[in-house]
Structure 1
Amino acid sequence: MKRDSRLSLVLHALLHMAESEGPMTSEELAKCITTNPVVVRRTMGFLRKAGIVASGRGHTGGWRITADLSSVTLRQLHDALGEPALFAVGNRNEAPACLVEQAVNAALDQTFAEAEALLLARFGEITLSDLAADFAVRYTAQLKQKEH
């Protein structure tokens, strides 16, 4: 099963946008996150619907963040992306006739639900400003390391 990396892609793009002095085009973002501009437009469209970003056309156009970084959580971004599956593992058969497989599914379903609830709760605690602050610390440390 292929992993859904849209949340990671969106976070990467948003942090580049947060550091930019103006709007960024889909082409610029695509270079930053090594993907196709079409993927950027399609994915950012979800965030536009959620009111997190806006886009403009023309010479000064591009994507810009409209929401306050401290108010946008990873959970909100996950939700805006259509709540993609968090785990790539699952039941072999969703409606088994075998009682053994039913018992296995029940145990797995409950465990996955608990893990997902924990992960989504943690996503609700992390904001874009948290990630931007972490980036700033890492960037400063890298600059200091290069000076020595």
Structure 2
Amino acid sequence: MSFRRLRHFMQLIELRDLRNISSYGIMMKRNSKLSLALHALAQMAETLNRPKTSAAIALHNDTNPVVVRRVLGLLREAGLVTSEKGHNGGWLLARPPDRITLADVYLALGDRFLRPEYDGEDNPPECLIERALLGRVESALQAAENTLVSRLQDTTIAELRSTELTPVD
């Protein structure tokens, strides 16, 4: 990706222009862990005092309960959910849904959406030009990532449950 396209991509993030950001699909990977985590948290927010089982969450999200446990385990480590063992056990929110932001979830999962692609025949690591550009690209991607996290802090799980989310302009 050229620096011009990268700069444009960063401007789209800053402007919250999600419709046009999708045209940069090559730079943004679909994060199924984030999607699963957000769906699960929204489900837990519906039934605050009743634990949700991994099996129920998995069924609702068309995945395997083991995948659910792995993802929610990361959220438990971050203090976003708790788990109860036993026949009536399951997963519960560790704090009210209006106190859990999308940024909390995103950071708890530890995956980055934006990553430079260092490998490949087009940019071998021994190429001096490529090595010189890597630092600048990484810096630009980190700035975009910081903007993304900043924007995610503006939305809570409670707001996700709302049927009328404000569209992003």
* TM-score in terms of structure 2 length: 0.68
SS at match of 2:56: helix
Corresponding residue for residue 112 of structure 2: 85
Segments of 4+ in structure 1 off by > 6 A?
A: none
Offset, 1:103: 3.8
Q: Are positions 1:123 and 2:152 aligned together?
A: yes
Offset, 1:3: 4.5
Distance 2:57 2:126 in 1: 49
Q: Which amino acid aligns with 2:103?
A: R
SS at match of 2:164: helix
Q: Which amino acid aligns with 2:143?
A: E
Q: Which amino acid aligns with 1:37?
A: P
Judge conservation of contact 1:56–1:62 (CA < 8 Å) in 2.
yes
Equivalent residues in 2 for 1:70-81, closer than 5 Å: 70-81=98-109
Indicate the structure whose relative CO is greater, using CA pairs within 8 Å and at least 6 residues apart: 2
Distance 2:69 2:135 in 1: 39
Corresponding residue for residue 142 of structure 1: none
Corresponding residue for residue 99 of structure 1: 128
Corresponding residue for residue 8 of structure 1: 35
CA deviation string 1:93-129 (max 9, x = no partner): 7994433213432442232122111111111222112
Could you say if the C-alpha distance between residues 102 and 58 of structure 1 is closer, same or farther in structure 2, counting changes exceeding 3 Å?
closer
Alignment equivalent of 2:76, drawn from 48, 53, 76: 48
Judge conservation of contact 2:124–2:130 (CA < 8 Å) in 1.
no
Q: Which amino acid aligns with 1:31?
A: L
- Unmatched segments (≥5 aa) in structure 2: 1-25
Q: Which amino acid aligns with 2:53?
A: T
Could you say if the C-alpha distance between residues 31 and 97 of structure 1 is closer, same or farther in structure 2, counting changes exceeding 3 Å?
same
Q: Compute the RMSD of aligned alpha carbons.
A: 2.5
Offset, 1:89: 4.4
SS at match of 1:137: coil
Judge conservation of contact 1:10–1:44 (CA < 8 Å) in 2.
yes
Q: Which amino acid aligns with 1:13?
A: A
Judge conservation of contact 2:118–2:125 (CA < 8 Å) in 1.
no
Q: Are positions 1:62 and 2:90 aligned together?
A: yes
